[in-house]
Amino acid sequence: MMMRWRLVCSAVALLLLQGCASLRGPDPSDPLEPMNRKVTAFNDLADDLVLRPVAVFYGEVLPTVVRKGISNFFSNQSDVMSVFNSLAQLKLEAASRNAMRVAINTTAGLGGIIDWATELRIDKHKEDFGQTMAFWGVSSGPYMVLPFFGPSTVRDSVGLWVDTKTDVNQQVSDIGARNTLTMLRLTDKRERYLSLSDAVKQASLDPYTFTRDAYLQKRLNDIYDGNPPMMDDFDDPDQPAPMVAPNQPTAGSAVPPVPEPPAVKP
């Protein structure tokens, strides 16, 4: 069943990408806007028909404490990959903190169900492979909306694929258990964003533009650990993000100079 679902997703993505060469959007960061809006409409339809109703039902049936435990469990799994991505970005302090979180929550927290690390004020430093590629100077590429997965960029799409393949859940040998964990994780994530998605639709004249700008700003903020350069110095998301020094920039520290990006060919 899961294999068929992946084939359907791949087919949809392939059909939509066939028109990329002739599609050009007005925003330099979003040259694929016409295609992206079509994928967004498809995602909205899938969300209205399936994902949102399941998430609402999930939130109504399970008690808050149970849902919190499930969220903590999957958050602990993401901390595992954050350790390796922190090391790949030479962020040794963040890697050590994430490793401490995993050790404490996996043991004392019953596999991560109880988040003792946060109670002990060991902060979470989420790092993914998209951020790792950005650290080493890989260009973000154009903004794109993925079927079912939503906002992304070319670089983050590759990062998402790597993160998915290396996720702890994907190492489970039993296919049924692995698929159940995957669906539970997606449902839990959708339920946590119910109020946010509703607020965006109600408050925005154009939810697509709002979501795109918010996503690109958040990713830039993630890459620079909460202290991105001024947009006057770095205003072209199609250009490679400058490589950030280990554990830099941190809050209150100076932002390293940004090299001038090469000219973009029309």
209 shares a domain with 113: no
Neighbours of 48 (CB within 10 A): 10
Residues 38, 134: one domain? Answer: yes
Report phi then psi at 238, rounded to 5: -80, -15
My answer on whether 201 and 176 are in the same domain is yes
Top mean-pLDDT range of 117-126, 193-202, 232-241: 117-126
Site of tokens 């435990």? 69
Domain count, the chain: 2
Take residue 50 and report the two structure tokens written for it.
């399936």
In this structure, the answer to whether residues 193 and 120 fall within a common structural domain is: no
Q: Where are the alpha helices (DSSP H) in the chain?
A: 2-17, 33-46, 52-61, 64-88, 92-107, 116-119, 129-135, 154-166, 175-192, 194-203, 207-223
Q: Which residues of 125-162 are buried (b: 16+ CB within 10 A; e: fewer)?
A: bebbbbbbbbbeebbbbbbbbbbbbebbbbbbebbbeb
Per residue in 145-199, pLDDT (tens digit) is: 999 999 999 999 999 999 999 999 889 999 999 999 999 999 999 999 998 888 8
HSE (side-chain half, CA atoms, 13 Å) at 253:
16
With respect to residue 21, please indicate whether it lies within any of the assigned structural domains.
no
Residue 218's CB: how many other CB atoms inside 10 A?
Answer: 11
Regarding whether 217 and 142 lie in a shared domain, the answer is yes
Rounded Cα gap, residues 192 and 51, in angstroms: 12
Kindly state the tokens that stand for 2.
């899961």
Domain contains 6 = no
User: 2: closest CA among 175, 118, 251?
Assistant: 175
Q: What is the mean pLDDT of the chain?
A: 83
Yes or no: say if 259 and 242 are a contact pair by the CB < 8 Å rule: yes
| 166 plus 179 within the same structural domain | yes
Same domain, yes or no: 110 and 89 = yes
> Any bridge partners for residue 96, and if so which?
none
Q: Indicate if the pLDDT at residue 97 is higher than 80.
A: yes
Does residue 188 sit within a domain? yes
Do 184 and 135 share a domain, yes or no? yes
Strand pairing report for 150-153 and 143-146: antiparallel
Q: Decide: 134 and 90 in contact? Cβ < 8 Å.
A: no
Tokens of 193: 């964003």
Tens of pLDDT, residue by residue over 242-257, are 444 334 443 333 334 4
145 belongs to a structural domain: yes
Neighbours of 46 (CB within 10 A): 13
Strand locations in 70-200, DSSP E?
143-146, 150-153
Position 14 in a domain: no
24 CB neighbour count, 10 Å cutoff: 11
| pTM score | 0.76
pLDDT of residue 85: 97
- 67, 172: one domain: no
The domain in which residue 190 lies consists of: 29-44+128-226
**Higher confidence at residue 240 or residue 140?**
140
* Residue 109 sits in the same domain as residue 204: no
